[in-house]
Structure 1
Amino acid sequence: MPLQFKSVFTKSRTVTAVVVLFVLAFSLHVPMMSMFKIEWSTEPQSNMSFPHLIRQSSNSIVRFNDMLNRTTFPWINFIIMIACVATIKLKLYQSSLVRRPQTSISTSDPKQVNKGLEDQGRSSKDLRVIQSVVLICCIFIVSQLPFLVYSTGRLINPEFDIHKSLTNLFYIFTTISQTFSYLNASVNIFVYYNYNSKYRSIFLSMTNLGSPMKN
C-alpha cells in the first residue's frame, strides 16, 4: 500500500531523530551562547553583589547566527516540509486509487465482509490522522513565512534592522511574524479538537463544556 507510516516512523527511529535534531540545534546555538557571560555587580545603596548577564559584542558570531540559524536552516526546513506535505498528498491519492477497486469487489463470505469493514474502519481512522498532520503542517508553513521573509530581508539589507533606517518596517514585519506564531499555536487546538476524539473528550471534560465523548 502507498501509505506505510507505521512501519517507517517506528519508536526507535523517532527517538533517534529527536536526539540527533536536539544535539544539532544545540551545537548550532553554542557560538551565540558563547557571547554571554555572567558578571557580578555591587549595588551601591545596599552594598550587595548580584550576578547579571552581559552580552559581548561579536559581529562575526551574530552574522553566523543570522545566516545559518535564522535564514539558511529555516528555509531548508520550510522547503522540506512543503515537499513532505506534497508527498503525503500524492500518497493519499495513490492510496485512494489502490483502495477503490478493492471496495468495488463484493463477496458473500461473511468473514471477508467483516474483514473488509474492519480494514475500512482502520483506513478511515488513519486517513483522519494523516489529514490532521497535513493541516497542521500547512498552518505551520503559512505562519512561518513572515519570519522567513523578514529574516532574509535583514540578511540582505543591513538597514532592515533595529536602530537603522528601516526600523519601522522591521518592527512591522516582526510584529506580523509574532502574530502568525501566536495564531499557529492557537489554531492547532481546534485542529486537534476536530480530528482527535480522545483529545476532544479530555478537552470537554476539563473545561466542563459537555460530557466526555466516547471514542
Structure 2
Amino acid sequence: MGLRDNVTITLFFLSLSDWMHLALFCPSTAARIIMIDAPKHVWPFDPMILAAGTKVYSFLFYDYSSFVAVFLAVVRCLCVAKPLAFKSMITKERTLFCLITMFLFAVINRVPKFSVFRLSKVRNPRTNASFMKFVVTSDYYRVNQASDILNKNILPWLAYTTVVVCVVILLQKLKEASKFRQSLTTTSTEQSTGNGASSDRNARSKGSSASDPVSTSPKRQKSPSEKMSAKDLQVVQSVTIVCIIFIFSQLPFQIASVYRLIEPEFDNGAVAHVVGRLATKSEVRGSLSQSGPSQFS
C-alpha cells in the first residue's frame, strides 16, 4: 500500500476505523430489522446483545474516525498555510503517536458508557433454560445523559466547526495555487510566441532572457500555496474531498443533536430512522479513505 508519509498513514487509520465501525454496526442494524419485521422470531440468545451491544462498541470507532478526520484537516491546513514552520515537524513517528493517543482518548471517553452494560445469565421461565441477557445497571440513565452531553453535542460540534474552518482555508489555498499555475502557463506561452518570431538565435536567446519576468523583474514573495508541488497539490485536493464528505455526512447528525436538545422525546424511536444514514456515511467515507493511500503509493 505504501505508507510513506503522514497523509497515507492517517488515511489508512481512518479507513480501518470506518470499516471497524461498519463491522460492529451492521449486526446491530440486521438484528433490529429482524426484531421489527419478525417479532415472533425465536432467538437462541438475547437479540439485544446484537441490537444494542455491538452498536455501543461501534461508536468507539465512530468517534475515532471523527478525531482522525479533524487531525487530517488540521495538519494539512497547517502544512499548507505555514509549510516552513510545520511541514518538517509532522513526521511519520509523530503522526503515529498522535493517532494512537487519539484512539486511547476515544477509549477512555467511552469507558463510562461501556461500564453500565452487562451480560447477565437469566432463566427462561417457559423453557427453564439459562441464557445470556444484555442488561444495564442502575446508573445507566445518569451516565448516558452525561455521555450524551459530551459525545453528542460538545465534541461533535467542536470537530465539525474545526473541519469546516480548515476546509475553507484549504479551498482558498487551492484557488491561489490554481491562479498561480495559470499565470505560469500564460507566461510560458507568450515567451514561446515571442521567441519564434525572431530569426537570429543569439538575439532570440538574449531577447528571451531580457523579457523573462523571472530573471529581470524583482522576485515577488510567493505564498505557501504557490510553492506547492504537483504531488502536494494532489494530496491537498484528496484531503479536502475527505473533509467535505465528513462535513456533509455529519450534517444530519449535527442537526439531530440540536433537535435532541429542543425535543427530549426525539430519541424514543427516532434513532431507528437514522440507522441507514450512519451506515451509508461510514461506508462512503471509509471507501474513499481506503482508496486515498493508493493514490500516493
Out of 10, 16, 22, the residue aligned to residue 97 of structure 2 is 16
User: Which residue does 1:77 correspond to in 2?
Assistant: 159
1:23 and 1:187 map into 2 onto residues whose CA distance is 22
User: Which residue does 2:15 correspond to in 1?
Assistant: none
Percentage identity across paired residues of the two chains = 31
Once the two structures are overlaid, the 10-residue window that deviates more, 22-31 or 41-50, is: 41-50
Query: 1:175: how far off?
Result: 2.9
Once the two structures are overlaid, the 10-residue window that deviates more, 58-67 or 181-190, is: 181-190
Out of 153, 157, 161, the residue aligned to residue 259 of structure 2 is 153
Out of 62, 65, 68, the residue aligned to residue 147 of structure 2 is 65
Which sections of structure 1, spanning at least 5 residues, go unmatched? 109-119, 200-214
1:59 and 1:30 map into 2 onto residues whose CA distance is 15
Over 3 Å counting, the alpha-carbon distance change for 1:176 and 1:83 in structure 2 is: same
Once the two structures are overlaid, the 10-residue window that deviates more, 87-96 or 145-154, is: 87-96
Query: 1:52: how far off?
Result: 3.3
Q: Highest relative contact order (Cα 8 Å, sep 6+), 1 or 2?
A: 2
1:192 and 1:18 map into 2 onto residues whose CA distance is 16
**Counterpart AA for 1:41:** V
SS in 2 for 1:37: strand
User: Which residue does 1:29 correspond to in 2?
Assistant: 110
Out of 45, 51, 54, the residue aligned to residue 135 of structure 2 is 54
TM-score with structure 1 setting the length = 0.64
1:85 and 1:30 map into 2 onto residues whose CA distance is 32
1:95 and 1:148 map into 2 onto residues whose CA distance is 32
SS in 1 for 2:267: coil
Out of 130, 137, 140, the residue aligned to residue 236 of structure 2 is 130
Bigger proportion of residues as helix = 2
User: Which residue does 1:212 correspond to in 2?
Assistant: none
Greater gyration radius: 2
Query: 1:181: how far off?
Result: 4.8
Which sections of structure 2, spanning at least 5 residues, go unmatched? 1-79, 192-207, 210-225
2:273 and 2:89 map into 1 onto residues whose CA distance is 39
CA RMSD in angstroms, aligned pairs only: 3.7
1:75 and 1:143 map into 2 onto residues whose CA distance is 13
Superposed CA offset, 1:155-209 (max 9, x none): 33212221xxxx5xx35xx63573265056337647876x87x46xxxxxxxxxx
Judge conservation of contact 2:164–2:247 (CA < 8 Å) in 1. yes
2:285 and 2:107 map into 1 onto residues whose CA distance is 28
1:8 and 1:99 map into 2 onto residues whose CA distance is 27
Alignment of 1:169-188 (within 5 A): 170=270, 175-176=273-274, 178-179=276-277, 181-183=279-281, 185-186=283-284
Judge conservation of contact 1:2–1:92 (CA < 8 Å) in 2. no
2:87 and 2:177 map into 1 onto residues whose CA distance is 15
**Counterpart AA for 1:134:** T
Out of 141, 160, 166, the residue aligned to residue 247 of structure 2 is 141
1:161 and 1:15 map into 2 onto residues whose CA distance is 37
User: Which residue does 1:38 correspond to in 2?
Assistant: 119
